A and B are shown apart, each in its own frame.
Chain A
Amino acid sequence: MELAIAQETIARWQFGVTTVYHFLFVPLSIGLGGIVAGLETAWVRTGKEKYFHATKFWGKLLLINLALGVVTGIFQEFQFGMNWSSYSRFVGDVFGAPLAMEALVAFFFESVFIGLWIFGWNRLPKKIHLATIWIVTIGSLLSAYFILAANSFMQHPVGYRIDPANGKARLTDIWRVLFQDTTLVQVFHTLTAAFITGAAFVMGISAYHLWRAKRGKDTNRKRIAAMRSSLKLALVVCTVAGILTALSGDRLAKVMFEQQPMKMAAAEALWDTQAPAPFSIFSVGDVNKGRNDVALEVPGALSFLAKSDFHSAVPGINNRADEQVKLFGGTRADYIPNIFMTYWGFRLMIFFGMTSFTIGLVGLYLTRKKFWVRPRFRTGEDEPPNLMITDKIRMNDFFTKWSWRIIALTLGFPLLANSFGWIFTEMGRQPWVVFHLMKTANAVSPNVGVGTQVGSLVALSVVYAILAVVEGGLMVKYSKPGPDVDERPPTKDPTLRMSPDDQDKPLSIAY
């Protein structure tokens, strides 16, 4: 018994560590990939060098990040079999399908076309080269979609029946698995959040360079132009994606109130049914007694979040736990997820995500141009944008200085929001691995020793930690100097077959 508990705990830690780590790179790759594709499109359409320099600059950072995102994904696929073989046997028939589709439909695209994008700059005609980065981006979106469809099945199993002969889940309707509301809302929420992540990253680094330019530490006009366009695009992306993330988050919460009410009750530390139910801003709870000692609340707001009105009753943790005890046996405590992690995970996700969105929105207002600013205040393409309070008044130096710093310092906030979001959504589902079908404790591999597990957790953590330091260092090294503005864009469309004169020239891109 004790051994089983240890196995489950270590397997969960390993899943948590490797998944959160993997998911640091994935959203950034998706968001940044989209921005790079957008910039290259601008370059191909307008022929302006600044877009080319920006494309190359963010492209380099994208590749550093993508490398780790891709390789850490391999373990995600393997560990279902390694640590969770009972789970794999039980749901492989259903869960395996979207996973295999991810490889065949999405991952192949990404991996093959990223090679073409990196090394194809002087080999492919411009438009075909542009198509490759779009295919990579679309591939990564599809990839996320299939993985989230698989995850949604664990959150809310549909399109299956239990085979009476062997007790295993059998797929009955692939369309329901791929297109159930949980999948669609979750995909939308996760992908829009990925775009905030990419945008905040671009905003932060562009702001750093523009602030340097503002202080006269960088006078290269081409570099300023590239960073200026990057900042503007990122501010727009951040604002739009922020609005969509908030809307889809609200929708997702409503779906969760229906499908996993315990998770949402836990997210609110709402112990007992209340009508109207208040939204908790801050609370200190006592799990043993099943109540909060300190609570700061907005009356009625939770009713609104769950049911779109200000008076409906929202059942609490204790009530939900009682229901599950009736259905599945055991004690109340068996069905209460980790309240501290779910409550704070939920809040921190919202806090970090909304902070970046707000910065994007405010930034878009402060750097506005063309529509609202009188011509005399408009800055040139190669000047750092002014920060304006109204169309007449510029921000004073003190606030300007802090505005740029805040953007630069918050570039990683969405990464935290993403991590807390996943921790919340996965821990809030406990003790179920497949909701109301299989408990996490029954999902582990029965034949893998605790020693092996500990060894692998340590080995993975060490390797992942080293790579995090390496990647962080490279990101800093490559973002600090800004775009290489001496690089000449390919002037004419290169043909696939080189002319004999070109045969002996050095490769334009080589490792």
Chain B
Amino acid sequence: MHLYDLWFILIALLWVGYFFLEGFDFGVGVLTQTMARNSTERRVLINTIAPVWDGNEVWVIAAAGATFAAFPDWYATLFSGFYIPLLIIVLCLIGRGVSFEYRAKRDSMRWQLGWEQVTFWTSVIIPFLWGLIFANMVQGIAIDRQKSYVGSPGDLFNGYAILGGFATVVLFTCHGAIFTALKTDGEMRERARKAVPVLGLASLLLVLAFLLWTQANSGNGQSLGVMIVAFAALPVALFFNQLGREGWAFVFSALTVVASFAMLFLTLFPDVMPSTLNPAWSLTVSSASSASYTLTVMTIVAAIFAPLIILYQSWTYWVFSKRIAVHHIPSGH
């Protein structure tokens, strides 16, 4: 195995880790407007993710940075090619981060409702656009001989990619509902549990449609196997949810998220950005990667720090493992 193969796997892991972690906090963001009934309940939801969302978000920064270092051409083609969706994602990430931090900073109702709207919409738009970008990346885009995207921004909004966007939003919302059931107590926990079957069936349909389409387009034996894992895990998650075993339900919904995105990377390999204009112009792991010295340096850094990151981030979850309910929310704000 070449180092660039290893780095393809590591970057896939960073993205998958990002979607597993921030996936549920996007989902919680969506639930603030769809499940919570009043301001206190919205605060309960926000506080289930408040101490951890920032740490979750770093995964995307690490994924982008690692792509830059290990596959400069992949990074350059991806970020210049998906300019408009990425710009919107950045603006939304900025708004979303600020919305958590600034919501409670004034006692005005209008101020708080405004930031809550920002939390909600950014939690819908960002996963939609990531789904759209990944779908386009897997399907292939118009890349020319110079490795640049030469299609129009409008081309990115095709049926397959839009389906990918919706599937991502709904799957994350389901993942977030299961997380909410795991992290809250009392009536909110019940309500979240009751919302899970509906969201679960909707995700099953959308994700099934999207992944089958992917498999038909560019699948292989391995991707088929992982796809089956993704589908098998979701009903198990719903089953545990019905039993009130939220911890296990969360493990299995996480497995669906992880397997779904892992499948996309499996169908991609050994390409990283297929060209629809000419297969010879596609970016592959070997043609897009850095030289082996850089990859060696980065491998050493990753080998030291990745386990450490996982260790201290897990510790954070353990520190804040307590369930939160309406009566835990202090008055005011």
Contacts and interface: CB of A to CB of B under 8 A. Distances in A.
Interface of A: 63-64, 67-68, 70-75, 77-78, 80-83, 85-86, 88-89, 91-97, 99-105, 107-109, 111-116, 118-120, 123-124, 163, 170-172, 174, 445-448, 452, 456, 459-460, 463, 467, 470, 474, 477-478, 496, 498, 503-508, 510-511
Question: How would you classify the secondary structure of chain B's contact residues: helix, strand, loop or mixed?
Answer: helix
Interface string B73-109: 1011111110110110011011101101111111000
A155 to B, nearest CB: 19
Contacts of B84: 452, 456
A39 to B, nearest CB: 21
Given A170-B294, A463-B91, 10 more contacts: A71-B94, A88-B79, A89-B147, A104-B306, A108-B55, A112-B55, A113-B312, A445-B76, A447-B148, A460-B87
Given A64-B105, A445-B80, A510 B328 contact: yes
Nearest to B148: A447
B309 interface: yes
B22 to A, nearest CB: 12
Contact of B51 (A68, A119, A456): A119
B18 to A, nearest CB: 12
Interface in B127-162: 146-150, 153
B286 interface: no
B110 to A, nearest CB: 13
B70 interface: yes
Contacts of B117: none
Contacts of A88: 68, 72, 75-76, 79
Given A507-B324, A510-B328, A171 B149 contact: no
B216 interface: no
Interface stretch (B170-178, B197-205, B295-303): B295-303
Contacts of A109: 312
B286 to A, nearest CB: 13
A505 B324 CA distance: 10
B273 interface: no
A170 B293 contact: yes
Q: How large is the interface on B (under 10, 10 to 19, 20 to 34, 35 or more residues)?
A: 35 or more
Interface of B: 43, 46-47, 50-55, 57-58, 60-62, 64-66, 68-73, 75-81, 83-84, 86-87, 90-91, 93-95, 97-98, 100-106, 146-150, 153, 290-291, 293-294, 297-298, 301-302, 305-306, 309, 312-313, 316, 318-320, 322, 324, 327-331
B97 A71 contact: yes
Contacts, number: 245
Contact of A78 (B66, B90, B101): B90
A114 B55 CA distance: 9
A108 B51 contact: no
B291 A81 contact: no
9 contacts: A71-B93, A71-B97, A88-B72, A100-B66, A101-B301, A111-B57, A112-B55, A478-B105, A510-B43
Contacts of A92: 68-69, 71-73, 75-76, 290
A139 B206 CA distance: 41
A212 B7 CA distance: 59
A207 B243 CA distance: 60
* B65, B71, B103: most-surrounded residue (chain A CB, <10 A): B65
Contact of A89 (B55, B66, B76): B76
A209 B46 CA distance: 34
A149 to B, nearest CB: 13
B327 A506 contact: yes
Contact of B94 (A74, A81, A124): A74
Contact of B58 (A63, A67, A108): A108
A93 B290 contact: yes
A505 B319 CA distance: 17
Contacts of A459: 87, 91
Contacts of B329: 506-507, 510
A112 B297 CA distance: 25
A89 B61 contact: no
Contact of B291 (A82, A104, A118, A171): A171
Contacts of A120: 51, 319
B80 A70 contact: no
A463 B104 CA distance: 20
